[in-house]
Amino acid sequence: MNMKNKKNVARLLFLFCTPKLAERATKLYAADSIPLHYRMSASGTASSEMRDILGFENNEKAALLSVLPRDAAKEMLTRLRRGLKIGSTNSGIAFTVPITGLSKLVLRMMESADTPTETNDKRRNSRMDSTKYSMIAAIVNQGYSENVMEAARAAGAAGGTVIHSSSVGNHALAGAWGFAVEEAREIVMIVADNESKLPIMQAISDACGIKSEAKGVVISLPIEDVIGLSE
């Protein structure tokens, strides 16, 4: 369903944080009766020096993905910042990405959710004006996430999050186009400002693109609101 004419369009809310905070966030989501959210195991890519700077004890992370109405997503970012201290030492990062289409059933589920919202002034003060950020996602064969981050760091990226997944595409069709993709895949997700986005994507493509052994595909999505980055 196209939602361009919907006033309260949906957002994907991403939360990358420590497993302990993920447990608290899951309870917060459940208390607010958020209809759709998913949790995945992940790992960070920061070096030991960067982990010391950020305050992370190790590279273990959890990734939470939720679908929310726009206003509810903004409110949840505020609650994650205030209640879970997302953005403080040894915590994580959360951000929203616009959705341009959604099934009718999911849309009805979201519209039925009773999530309180703040006034515009309060909400504006509780978040970053972060249209200058994008999420870069590099999907590569298993074992190449560090290669991705080496290329990305050389182009200015600070760190990222790795999610392990499996390829379920048409491998025969891919082979017809001249490349083979392994079943086990890794998704490296990097948040970058828009000035750095293209150089980072180009560096990843040069090192781990579809013609390399990594068989990488690189995409980017615009970030609307974010907490957990330096303001």
194-223 burial by CB neighbour count: b if 16+ within 10 A, else e?
A: eebbeebbebbbebbbbebebbbbbebeeb
23-46 pLDDT, tens digit per residue, is 999 999 888 878 778 888 888 765
Give the residue-averaged pLDDT of 16-26.
Answer: 91
Instruction: Return the CATH architecture of domain 133-222.
Output: 2-Layer Sandwich (3.30)
% of the chain exceeding 90 in pLDDT: 43
Q: Identify the band that residue 2 occupies on the pLDDT scale cut at 50, 70 and 90.
A: very low
Residues 191, 195, 196, CA angle at the centre, nearest 5°? 50
Q: Whole-angstrom Cα distance, residue 49 to residue 145?
A: 19
Instruction: Return the CATH architecture of domain 10-127.
Output: 2-Layer Sandwich (3.30)
Predicted pLDDT of residue 5: 43
Q: Is the pLDDT of residue 221 over 90?
A: yes
Domain locations in the chain? 10-127, 133-222
